[in-house]
Structure 1
Amino acid sequence: MIRRPVYLLMSCMMALLLLLQAPAHAANAEVTTARIESSEEGYRMVAAFSFELSHALEEAITRGIPMYFTTEVEVTRPRWYWFDEKAINSSQTVKIGYNVWTRQYTSATNGSLLQNFVTLEEAMSTVLRPRRWVVAEKSELSSGAIYNAAVRLKLDINQVPKQPFLINALNNSDWRLSSDWKRFTFKADEK
């Protein structure tokens, strides 16, 4: 059992370490490419993003704390007589981590497709340009209909491990990363 003075000393040291970190500005992500393409499997999301990691996020990753970046897609069909019809909600999450033992960065998409990288920049390329994934089957969308689509990227801090020294850091704006929704329209294939 940890004695109270030792616990207080450890808590103060952790708080001091968090305060001494160089201040970094929370950068928002920007959606640079967003479109839905038709393929044999269905409709695929094509997206690309632009952002730089804050110093705090970069340091956390290099200390072995995994970060989860989620790309969200919403597809709706406008209706003149009622609210828009929600047709599709889809997401893809990329986990970026660092293995201290192998000194390699890792990227895993939706819990699978694990890849190893030498640098953080290479690993982050899987977040900046996520792989195309099927967001809707051909049968899910009405033939020839016009749809509104929206895409965004966010750092999902709810999936970050809740280690005691991270609790205060998670409330810091340096740990907030999100893009605005990028909205566009597309037409479903005609049969």
Structure 2
Amino acid sequence: MHRIFKLLLLTLLSCLLCSQPLAYAGNIEISHAQIESSDEGYRLAASFNFELSRDLENTLTSGIPLYFVTEVEITRPRWYWFDEKTITGNQTVRISYNVLTRQYRASVNGSFPQNYKDLDDALALVRHPSRWTIAERSALNRGATYNVSVRLRLDTSQLPKPLQFNALNDSDWRLASDWKRMTFKADDK
């Protein structure tokens, strides 16, 4: 009886291990994020690490574009009330695949698209976005301390309606980072 129990337990354990889906980096990790001061204003410098699931790659190569949104929020803490939301901004990168030319196309905020031979080169625009101005110098109070929140996510609302329904039920489609929070002190200049 004891031997049958061990055998049954071993069989159950092996079934559970075999039924696990193949591992992939389903979440986005923010490896670097900071606010930099420039003559034009304040810029976001960020780097993200992630891989697309096989379902997302297949969707892309079927001709359906994917939209990645980098979001940033800057708030000023107040001791007497809720934090003041000073700046909110986002940058959208659209990646598509042209079946006829077998090239990936990527554009930032609707700009003229650039062509890439492979997916990793196109995803470099998402993983390492260019330093984009999120606030003019006059938008932040000199010497004030601000809380900054940054995240990257796959925008499933831009997908065709049938795929939006799949995105609700399938974890492969919930590609997003957690909010990375940091503090930033505006220049005194």
Aligned to 2:3: none
Aligned-partner residue type, residue 52 of structure 1: E
Pairing 1:112–2:111 present: yes
Aligned to 1:174: 172
Count of matched residue pairs: 168
- Please say if residues 156 and 164 of structure 2, whose CA atoms lie closer than 8 Å, have aligned partners that are also in contact: no
Aligned to 2:152: 153
* Large movers: runs of 4+ above 4 Å: 22-26
Q: Spell out, residue by residue over 1:101-156, the C-alpha distance to the aligned partner (whole angstroms, 9 max, x if none).
A: 11100111001141110000110010000111111010000001111101000000
Aligned to 1:9: none
Aligned to 1:186: 184
Q: Percent identity?
A: 59
- Please say if residues 26 and 174 of structure 1, whose CA atoms lie closer than 8 Å, have aligned partners that are also in contact: no
Pairing 1:64–2:73 present: no
Separation (CA, whole Å) in 2 of partners of 1:26 and 1:168: 22
For structure 1, which runs of at least 5 residues remain unmatched after alignment?
1-21
- Please say if residues 24 and 55 of structure 1, whose CA atoms lie closer than 8 Å, have aligned partners that are also in contact: no
- Please say if residues 24 and 56 of structure 1, whose CA atoms lie closer than 8 Å, have aligned partners that are also in contact: no
Separation (CA, whole Å) in 2 of partners of 1:180 and 1:82: 25
TM-score for both structures, normalised by structure 1: 0.84
Separation (CA, whole Å) in 2 of partners of 1:34 and 1:153: 11
Separation (CA, whole Å) in 1 of partners of 2:176 and 2:167: 14
Q: Spell out, residue by residue over 1:155-189, the C-alpha distance to the aligned partner (whole angstroms, 9 max, x if none).
A: 00001123x4x355323111110000011111101
RMSD of aligned C-alpha atoms?
1.5
- Please say if residues 67 and 96 of structure 1, whose CA atoms lie closer than 8 Å, have aligned partners that are also in contact: yes
Aligned to 2:28: 29
Taking the TM superposition and a 5 Å limit, the aligned residue runs for 1:115-154 are: 115-154=114-153
- Please say if residues 72 and 91 of structure 1, whose CA atoms lie closer than 8 Å, have aligned partners that are also in contact: yes
TM-score for both structures, normalised by structure 2: 0.84
Separation (CA, whole Å) in 2 of partners of 1:167 and 1:131: 29
Aligned partner of residue 126 in structure 1, secondary structure: helix
Aligned to 2:16: none
Kindly tell me: are residues 24 and 65 of structure 1, through their superposed partners in 2, closer, same or farther at Cα, counting changes over 3 Å? farther
